[in-house]
């Protein structure tokens, strides 16, 4: 065994922590090189044309993308399937061994198979590949070996560069699995962009957790109807104080005869005019005629950004329709309770 065959290890004079960081950086550099090689390969006809053919086929698919693979390729395949499903491409993962024991029934006319195998010679894929060929299902393969059994069986072989693995022995799937994962992400994102998949649709597929929370809309959280603190331009200062006290939003919207929001009065506005006559001073005399507002379809996270963007953050936003008519009011506490912050 030569010296180069041994894993790199720290010498007695080397700080173990520094050696660990150096080894980690070598791994990242090796995998980055692999990704750069694949990006360059996508610019070339062989992989580039296969990629665009895959996008065209998947974007018009009547059924689902059935992802399959075993070992590390199977684990990467599960992630690719999950990303496809969450970004608008119907998909399912089928384990090759389970496929051989009944799960081939999950493959239906109109489906396509996306099979992952670094070597292209994984024996466990034989039954699912044969099934795809027998029933005329589109077969797309991600592999590094263009002459492999899987690549030759595929309608569209996606041949990724055979870049060196990152482990010192060159055996453990590292660079190869990273490249598989990245190519799967590229497929999912390009399909997303081709379909015009929106943040609203993304939110529908991610209703739980922090991501789902941040994709909620203002209209989902705002207060509607009689709880809104509203008055007219002729509302007296005394009545303004009473309305703001009852509704407890720290502000009152001033609505004109046409139903549109004409202005806003805040607690700060009140403090500046408390020396005025409470019955003769009108809302129109003290309101801000150009308040910050939002719409019902704005992301809750964006509404929070608007509130915090001022030198003095504001706590409430009126929510208006396209004509400027108040639909509701949103308080910063609503955002905090929803976990948006």
Domain ranges of the chain: 15-197, 218-337
Sorting pLDDT into bands at 50, 70 and 90, what band is 201? low
Q: Write out pLDDT tens, residues 212-257.
A: 666 678 998 999 999 999 999 999 999 999 999 999 999 999 999 9
Q: In the chain, pLDDT over 90 holds for what percent of residues?
A: 71
Report CA torsion sign: 330, 331, 332, 337. negative
Would you state the pLDDT for residue 341? Answer: 60
Query: Could you count the other beta carbons within 10 Å of the beta carbon of residue 99?
Result: 22
- Whole-prediction pTM value? 0.62
Would you state the pLDDT for residue 322? Answer: 94
The CATH code for residues 218-337 is 3.10.580.10
Would you state the pLDDT for residue 6? Answer: 45
Q: Give dist(CA 314, CA 317) in Å, integer.
A: 8
Of residues 125, 133, 158, 165, the one with CA closest to residue 143: 158
What's domain 15-197's superfamily in CATH?
Answer: Glucose-6-phosphate isomerase like protein; domain 1 (3.40.50.10490)
Q: Look at residue 112 and give its three-state secondary structure.
A: strand
Which residues are annotated binding-site positions?
95
Sorting pLDDT into bands at 50, 70 and 90, what band is 208? low
pLDDT at residue 139 above 50?
Answer: yes
Q: Look at residue 139 and give its three-state secondary structure.
A: strand
Q: Give dist(CA 204, CA 193) in Å, integer.
A: 17
Which residues are annotated binding-site positions for Zn(2+)?
95
């Amino acid at each position: 065994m030569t010296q180069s065959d041994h894993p790199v290890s720290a010498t007695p004079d080397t700080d173990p922590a520094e050696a660990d960081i150096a080894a980690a950086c070598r791994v990242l550099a090796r995998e980055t090189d692999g990704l750069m090689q694949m990006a360059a390969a996508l610019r070339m006809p062989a992989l580039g044309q296969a990629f665009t053919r895959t996008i065209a086929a998947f974007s018009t698919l009547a059924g689902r993308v059935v992802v399959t693979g075993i070992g590390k390729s199977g684990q990467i395949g599960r992630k690719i399937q999950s990303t496809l499903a969450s970004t608008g491409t119907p998909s399912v993962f089928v384990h090759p061994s389970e496929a051989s024991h009944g799960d081939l029934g999950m493959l239906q006319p109109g489906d396509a198979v996306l099979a992952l195998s670094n070597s292209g010679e994984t024996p466990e894929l034989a039954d699912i590949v044969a099934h795809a060929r027998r029933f005329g299902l589109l077969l797309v393969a991600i592999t590094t070996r263009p002459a492999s059994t899987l690549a030759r069986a595929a309608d569209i072989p996606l041949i990724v560069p055979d870049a060196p693995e990152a482990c010192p022995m060159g055996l453990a799937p590292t660079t190869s699995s990273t490249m598989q994962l990245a190519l799967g992400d590229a497929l999912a994102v390009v399909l997303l962009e081709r379909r015009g998949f929106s943040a609203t649709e993304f939110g529908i597929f991610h209703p739980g957790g922090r991501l789902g929370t941040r994709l909620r809309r203002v209209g989902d959280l705002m207060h509607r109807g009689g709880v809104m603190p509203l008055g007219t331009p002729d509302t007296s200062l005394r009545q303004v104080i009473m309305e703001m006290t009852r509704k407890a939003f720290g502000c009152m919207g001033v609505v004109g005869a046409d139903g549109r929001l004409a202005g806003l009065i805040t607690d700060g506005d009140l403090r500046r005019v408390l020396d005025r006559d409470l019955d003769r001073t009108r809302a129109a005399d003290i309101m801000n005629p150009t308040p910050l507002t939002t719409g019902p379809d704005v992301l809750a996270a964006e509404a929070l950004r608007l509130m915090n963007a001022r030198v003095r953050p504001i706590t409430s936003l009126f929510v208006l329709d396209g004509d400027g008519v108040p639909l509701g009011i949103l308080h910063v506490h609503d955002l905090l309770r929803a976990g948006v912050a």
